[in-house]
Amino acid sequence: MDRVRLYFRIVFTVMAICITAFAAQSLHRDDQSPKFRAGIDLITIEAHVVSRDGAPIEGLRPNQFEVFIDGKRRDVTFADFVKAGNAPVADAAGATSRSAPVRRIVVMAVDQATFPPSAQASAREAAARVLKSVAPGDYLGLVAFPGGVAVAPTQNHEQVQAAISRISGLRTDLARSQFNISASEASALKSRDSVATNEITSRECSRRFLDPTCKQEVIQDGGRIADALAHQASQSINGLHGVIEALRQVEDRKTLLVISAGLPMRRGGNPDPEGETALLARRAAAANVNLYVLYMNVHFLRAFSAEYGKRNNTLFDDISMFGYGLEKFADGAGGTFFQIEVDSDPFVERALRETSAWYVLGVNASPEDRDGKDHFIRLNVKQRGSTVRYRRVVNIPPADKKTGG
């Protein structure tokens, strides 16, 4: 485990250096950064408000937004609608114009360890669809983990295209077994579910019913497979933490597209999906990440491939288990979860359509908000048929160190 942690630390230190360079460079691009009205008693919150088809809704007024910080309502003083490429800029009198370009930052995070080699084309194809769909002026980045593929957000999309060709499927076979034990069955055996254990051992020992050791061997093999799944889930969680930590250094709103074949987690299991994904989601929200999770369901096709070589008795349970942790992560961060069976185009197009414009809200802050600690946000929009996406956590520095939010 120590070697795994060291490995991730080295990989994401390199990635963080790349993104830190991007963040530092952006500080000197005053002409490309939005300047919003902010002061000691005012913070800004960015929110995407979209219709049922994902189109940004324009024309909302400040009184159509309700913002609560730690459960206490805060007045919304302005609601500026921003399209990628134009940002509201305040003059001395507080009037705004839209002459300054604002960049949209899109980062793809590909969890290579969740894709078997036979499915690496699915990961590359999803990333290529994103590359094809972003606007020329968008900043696009790519991180493929574990591994050394990392491109900091750039307008030179050819760099990203070259990196996509290096995405690999690194998932190895789980603990080998002489029995036919699926992922969800292994988890049931590990948890000592008596009904499932009796069913699985009876099936697998039907030809060895006189062998008194068979039942215990099935249970032990199930435990080894479950441990391998838990290790894979921990690797993925560590990798996502590294990505989010690197992105935290870029203050702008970021759209993070996680491309994964699943987090094999179950309720009450280890690692704990509720606790682990809640922490991950909270850090994503605090980092001002607009999250989209693309769950690539490669399990169905793989179950019928020659590579798999066995009959999966609980295929749909497996699909659900691999998607459960990802869905919890997306939900906790106020993001969006897409399960993709074949074609990622509609989902990628929707994500980029939703993030093509957003609102910047000026919100009155009370003195107790400015303590440098995390505060939880709730935002409602008075608009029928709308969906709102926003950061769920904000950390407001003390007024004497930094103004604005």
Q: Render pLDDT for 238-282 as a digit per residue (tens, 0 to 9).
A: 999 999 999 988 878 899 999 999 998 877 677 777 788 889 998
pLDDT of 94 above 60: no
Structure tokens at 103: 């960049």
Least confident among 79-83, 89-93, 131-135: 89-93
Structure tokens at 112: 């290579």
Which pTM value belongs to this model? 0.83
Q: What is the mean pLDDT of residues 361-382?
A: 88
Q: Render pLDDT for 187-205 as a digit per residue (tens, 0 to 9).
A: 999 988 899 999 999 999 9
Angle at 130 between CA 237 and CA 166, to 5 degrees: 65
d(CA 33, CA 135): 18
Share of the chain above pLDDT 90, in %: 52
Contacts of 367 (CB under 8 A, 6+ apart): 399
d(CA 405, CA 81): 18
Longest Cα–Cα distance in the chain: 88
Least confident among 88-102, 136-150, 208-222: 88-102
What pLDDT is stored for residue 18 in this prediction? 59
Structure tokens at 59: 């024309």
pLDDT of 85 above 90: no
Q: Render pLDDT for 285-335 as a digit per residue (tens, 0 to 9).
A: 888 899 999 999 988 766 555 555 567 678 889 999 999 999 999 988 889
Q: What is the mean pLDDT of residues 125-146?
A: 95
Structure tokens at 67: 């913002």
pLDDT of 51 above 60: yes
Mean predicted lDDT score pLDDT of the chain: 82
d(CA 342, CA 323): 16
pLDDT of 67 above 70: yes
**For the chain, what is the HEC assignment?**
CHHHHHHHHHHHHHHHHHHHHHHHHHHCCHHHCCCCCCECCEEEEEEEEECCCCCECCCCCHHHEEEEECCEEECEEEEEEEECCEEEEECCCCCEEEEECCCCEEEEEEEHHHCCHHHHHHHHHHHHHHHHHCCCCCEEEEEEECCCEEEEEECCHHHHHHHHCCCCCCCCCCCCCCCCCCHHHHHHHHCCCHHHHHHHHHHHCCCCCCCCCHHHHHHHHHHHHHHHHHHHHHHHHHHHHHHHHHHCCCCCCEEEEEEECCCCCCCCCCCCHHHHHHHHHHHHHHCCEEEEEEEECCHHHHHCCCCCCCCCCCHHHHHHHHHHHHHHHHHHCCCEEEEECCCCHHHHHHHHHHCCEEEEEEEECCHHHCCCCEEEEEEEECCCCCEEEECCEEECCCCCCCCCC
In this prediction, residue 26 has a pLDDT band, given cuts at 50, 70 and 90, of very low
Q: Which residue has the tokens 């913002």?
A: 67
pLDDT of 344 above 80: yes
d(CA 361, CA 64): 11
d(CA 370, CA 402): 10
pLDDT of 211 above 90: no
- Residue 343 CB neighbours (<10 A): 11
pLDDT of 68 above 90: yes
What pLDDT is stored for residue 399 in this prediction? 64
Q: Render pLDDT for 136-155 as a digit per residue (tens, 0 to 9).
A: 999 999 999 998 899 999 99
Q: Could you tell me the domains of the chain?
A: 33-103+356-395 (no CATH), 105-173+220-353 (3.40.50.410)
What is the amino acid identity at position 293?
V
